[in-house]
Structure 1
Amino acid sequence: MRKIFLNIALASIVFLGSCKKDNFDAPESDFSGRLLYQGQQIHVRHAGFGAELWQKGFGKFGVINVNFNQEGMFSSKLFDGNYKFTVSNSQVPFLWPKNAAGRPDSLDVNLSGDKVMDLEVRPYFMLRSPVITYSAGAVNATCSVEKIITDANGRDLERVTLYVNNTQFVDDQSTNNKAKQDLSGAAISNPANLTMSVAMPTFSPVQNYAFARIGIKISGIENMVFSPVVKLTF
C-alpha cells in the first residue's frame, strides 16, 4: 500500500511540474517594420531572406529568425528585452552596413511593448513608375529602372522580368509564376523606358483573374527587387 501511495505522489509531482512548465507566459510584444529607400517601400521575394534578432541569455546569445514578406515587411511576437538586429545574408538586393571588421553591423533594439522599426537601406536598383495592365489576352507592363549604387559597390543589371501567376504570391520561383518575359540587361539601351508583354496563361481550374509584378535581377545577387503585386481581371 505504501508503494502505491509513493507512486501516486511521484506522479502528482511530475504532473504539477509539467503544468508549471506549460504555463509560461507567451511573448506579447509585436516587433515589426519595413524595408525602405528614401521612404519608398522595397518589395522582395516572399520569405526569400530574413533578419536575425540576437538576445543574450544564460551566458550566451540565442538567435530568432524573422522573414520578410513580399511587401518587404517583417513581424515577430517577442518578449520585452534588449536585442541585436542584423541582416547577415549577402544575397539581399541592398547594401547592409558593415562594422570595422567587415562583418554585417547590428542595430540595438530595446523592446518594451509594441515597436515599429522601419529600415532605411540602399538597394542596388529601384523600379520606378511600374504600370501593369491586361488587354486582348496579354499582360502588358511599362517601367523604368534606376541604378542607386553607382560607386565601387555597385553591380550590373542582369535582367528585368515581368511575372504572372494565378495566386497573389508572384516572384522568380518556378512555383510562383505561370508566365514571364525577360529583358536581358545587356539588351537594355534605355532603362528609363522599358516595355514588356506576355500572353495570359491558361489556369486550371479556370479563373478570370491573375496577379503580376515586375522584378529586377541584380548580377551576382540571388534575391530580386520587385514592384508591388497587381491584380488583373479579364
Structure 2
Amino acid sequence: MKARYLIILIGAFIILASCNDIDNFDEPGTFLTGNVVYNQDPVPVGNNEVEFQLWQPGFGTLTPLGVRIAQDGSFSARLYNGDYKLVFVDGQGPFRTNIVNEQQQDTIFIDIDGDKEISIEVTPYYLIQNASFNKTGNSIEGTCRLEKIITDADAKNIERVTLYVNETQFVSDNGDYNDARIDGDFTNPNAVSMTVEIPEMLASKEYLYTRIGVKIAGVEDMIYSQVEKIDL
C-alpha cells in the first residue's frame, strides 16, 4: 500500500511540475505592424471586418492566427519570433491580392526576428477619391469621386454608395457603427454628392464622425474613405 501511495505522490509531483512549465511559457513579445496599401496609401475598410491569416509551419499544430485590419487600413499582431506565411482567405476584403510570383502566388513569407513593420500591397476594385465633408445647417454633406481600379476580367460594378455619420470614431455599414446614413446617386462617378440629416439625439454633440462607403457587387466587404471628424 505504501508503495502505491508513493507512486501516486510521485505522479502528482510530475503533473505539478509540468503545469509549472506550461505556466512559465513565455508569451509572444514581438510585434508585427503595418498597413494594407495601394500605391503606398492605406486602404480603408470596415473596422475589424477584414482579416488575413498568419501560418507558422513546423510549430505544433498548423492553426492560423487571424489578424484583423483596423478601419484605417492598419494592423498589429503580437507574435513569437520565427518564419510565417501570410495569406488572405478567398473573398476577404474589397480588393484583389497581388501575385508575388508563379510559385508562391499571393502568399507572403515573413521572417520575424524582433519587431517588424510591413506594407501589404493589394489592388482595390474602387477607390474613393477627394472625399470632402461639410456641415450645412442640420445636415452633413459628403462629396467624392469614385475611381475604378480593376478594369480587366475581374472588374465589378458598384452596388451603392453611402454616407455614414456616427457619434464615435468607428464608422461603417455595421449597424453599431452608424447613427445616420443615406445612399447617393453615383450615375456620374466623378461627382457623387450626398446629404444626411443629423439625428435629433446627436444635435447636442460637440462633434461627429463621418465617412463614405462603397458596396461593390458580389463583394462582401466595403471600401471606405478615411474617417473625418466634423465639428457641430
Q: Normalized against structure 1, the TM-score is what?
A: 0.89
Give the partner amino acid of 2:116.
K
Matches within 5 A, 1:34-183: 34-57=35-58, 61-97=62-98, 105-183=106-184
CA distance in structure 1 between the aligned counterparts of 2:204 and 2:6, rounded to whole angstroms: 67
- Aligned counterpart for 2:228 among listed residues 227, 230, 233: 230
CA distance in structure 2 between the aligned counterparts of 1:12 and 1:217, rounded to whole angstroms: 60
How much does 1:39 deviate?
A: 1.5
Question: SS at 1:220's partner residue?
Answer: coil
Residues 159-216 of structure 1 deviation map (CA, whole Å, 9 limit, x = unaligned): 111001111111011111111110254xx1x211111101011337953321110011
How much does 1:4 deviate?
A: 7.4
CA distance in structure 1 between the aligned counterparts of 2:61 and 2:21, rounded to whole angstroms: 25
CA distance in structure 2 between the aligned counterparts of 1:16 and 1:60, rounded to whole angstroms: 23
Give the partner amino acid of 1:226.
Y
Task: Could you tell me which runs of 5 or more consecutive residues in structure 1 were left unpaired when the two chains were aligned.
Answer: none
Residues 29-84 of structure 1 deviation map (CA, whole Å, 9 limit, x = unaligned): 11112111111111000111200111112675331110101011111000111111
Change (3 A) 1:38 1:198: same
CA distance in structure 2 between the aligned counterparts of 1:202 and 1:16, rounded to whole angstroms: 62
- C-alpha contact 1:49 1:89 (8 A) present in aligned 2: no
Q: Percent identity?
A: 35
Question: SS at 1:222's partner residue?
Answer: coil
Q: Normalized against structure 2, the TM-score is what?
A: 0.89
Count of residues paired in the alignment: 230
Change (3 A) 1:49 1:104: farther
CA distance in structure 2 between the aligned counterparts of 1:111 and 1:34, rounded to whole angstroms: 17
- C-alpha contact 1:54 1:61 (8 A) present in aligned 2: yes
How much does 1:97 deviate?
A: 3.5
CA distance in structure 2 between the aligned counterparts of 1:86 and 1:159, rounded to whole angstroms: 29
Task: Could you tell me which runs of 5 or more consecutive residues in structure 2 were left unpaired when the two chains were aligned.
Answer: none
Change (3 A) 1:5 1:60: closer
Superposed CA RMSD in Å reads 2.4
CA distance in structure 2 between the aligned counterparts of 1:194 and 1:184, rounded to whole angstroms: 7
Change (3 A) 1:47 1:89: farther
